[in-house]
């Protein structure tokens, strides 16, 4: 499970749990409740596959060979996306997130790309895990080492193998989530603007040297023409604006896909316009953080 991911900016997906709740915010212009999560991939998979209740957050298998322990079996350096079937900082993961931090600490050869729509819970989750590790550490030196690792992170010395990011596709969610993200220490701060749902200006958040974002992922939404799981419009100009802003700031950018709307509009062959060789040259940008 997880290996051979279709996500171009990572090597492996590590699913610590399955299940989540959609995050809604009021759009400042229309007043409507909107969500990037509207057509969440995990909800689709749940309906089409195993009939798992998408709102029931359950830990993946902890058996040896199970999905939860996947990183412990990876011997070569790799980028690991955590997770595609849940939100790493969902409150229902509080009871076993300590175990995930333990795995991350024990695998420094792997680079973890942790993405959330709940940045307000990151510091809380680190503090909770620190307390749990301290409580279990009286006769467990491994737990004490983990408590030290978490304590260092909270004191401003984050682990070298963790990239911390938020996902946001509207200006108001970018403005809400990115500053909170940037207030938590991280080796690399990043944003995934996918699906990109309106024209956005991220210029003031760019530039790792100034305490800003070191990496930006951008893309249009993928979806179906009919049925429950659709796609929303995206425009080439919106994507180009993000690429341009990154270029001006010297921030690495990764255009992941143009999405179904632009695939239809421009007649790209690859489903959801995922093949960069079909795109205009100025959008063929896929850089990792420096
Ligand atoms: S936060 Fe992510 S996993 Fe959770 S509902 Fe939204 S898109 Fe799906």
**22-38 core/surface letters (b: 16 or more CB in 10 A; e: else):** bbebebeeeeeebbbbb
Residue 52 has pLDDT above 90, yes or no: no
Give the rounded percent of residues in the chain with a pLDDT score beyond 90.
90
Calpha distance 268→260 (Å, rounded) = 9
Residue nearest to atom 7 of ligand 1 (CA): 37
Q: How far is the CA of 9 from the centre of ligand 1 (A)?
A: 18
Tell me if the pTM is above 0.85: yes
Which of the pair, 139 or 80, is modelled with greater confidence? 80
pLDDT in tens, 64-94: 999 999 999 999 999 999 989 999 999 999 9
Residue nearest to atom 4 of ligand 1 (CA): 20
Contact 285, 254 (CB under 8 A): yes
Instruction: Give me the half-sphere count of Cα atoms (radius 13 Å) on the Cβ side of residue 140.
Output: 12
Q: How far is the CA of 142 from the centre of ligand 1 (A)?
A: 32
Residue nearest to atom 8 of ligand 1 (CA): 40
DSSP secondary structure code for residue 220 in this structure:
P
Q: How far is the CA of 182 from the centre of ligand 1 (A)?
A: 21
pLDDT in tens, 217-246: 999 999 999 888 899 999 999 999 999 999
Residue nearest to atom 3 of ligand 1 (CA): 86
- Specify whether the backbone of 230 is left (phi greater than 0), alpha (psi in -120 to 50) or beta: beta
Q: Residue 81's pLDDT is what?
A: 98
Domain range summary for the chain, segments of one domain joined by +: 12-17+60-283
Residue 2 has pLDDT above 50, yes or no: no
Q: Which residues contact 39 (CB under 8 A, 6 or more apart)?
A: 221, 223, 229, 230, 231, 232
Which atom of ligand 1 has the smallest separation from the CA of 116?
1
Closest CA to 88 of 169, 25, 163: 163
Residue 45 has pLDDT above 90, yes or no: no
Calpha distance 147→39 (Å, rounded) = 38
Please compute the mean of the pLDDT values over residues 163-172 and round it to a whole number: 98
Residue nearest to atom 6 of ligand 1 (CA): 37
pLDDT in tens, 241-286: 999 999 999 999 999 999 999 999 999 999 999 999 999 999 999 9
Phi, psi of 99 (to 5 degrees): -65, -35
Q: How far is the CA of 163 from the centre of ligand 1 (A)?
A: 19
Residue 174 has pLDDT above 70, yes or no: yes
Q: Residue 6's pLDDT is what?
A: 81
């Amino acid at each position: 499970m997880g290996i051979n991911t279709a996500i171009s900016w990572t090597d492996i997906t590590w699913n610590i749990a399955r299940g989540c709740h959609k995050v809604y915010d009021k759009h400042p212009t229309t007043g409507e409740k909107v969500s990037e999560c509207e057509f969440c991939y995990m909800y689709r998979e749940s309906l089409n596959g195993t009939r798992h209740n998408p709102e029931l957050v359950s830990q993946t298998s902890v058996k040896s060979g199970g999905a939860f322990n996947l990183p412990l079996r990876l011997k070569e350096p790799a980028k690991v996306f955590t997770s595609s079937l849940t939100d790493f900082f969902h409150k229902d993961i509080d009871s076993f997130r300590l175990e995930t931090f333990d795995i991350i600490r024990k695998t420094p050869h792997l680079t973890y790309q942790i993405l959330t729509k709940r940045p307000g819970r990151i510091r809380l989750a680190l503090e909770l895990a620190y307390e749990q590790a301290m409580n279990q550490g009286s006769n467990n030196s491994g737990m004490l080492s983990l408590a030290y690792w978490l304590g260092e992170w909270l004191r401003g010395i984050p682990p070298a193998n963790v990239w911390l990011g938020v996902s946001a596709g509207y200006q108001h969610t970018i403005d809400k989530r990115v500053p909170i993200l940037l207030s938590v220490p991280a080796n690399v701060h990043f944003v995934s603007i996918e699906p990109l749902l309106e024209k956005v200006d991220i210029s003031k958040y760019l530039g790792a040297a100034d305490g800003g974002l070191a990496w930006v992922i951008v893309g249009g939404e993928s979806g179906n023409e009919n049925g429950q799981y659709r796609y929303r419009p995206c425009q080439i100009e919106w994507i180009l604006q993000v690429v341009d802003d990154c270029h001006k700031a010297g921030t690495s950018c990764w255009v992941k896909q143009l999405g179904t709307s632009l695939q239809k509009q421009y007649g790209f062959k690859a489903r959801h316009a995922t093949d960069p060789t079909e795109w205009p040259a100025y959008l063929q940008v896929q850089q990792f953080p420096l």
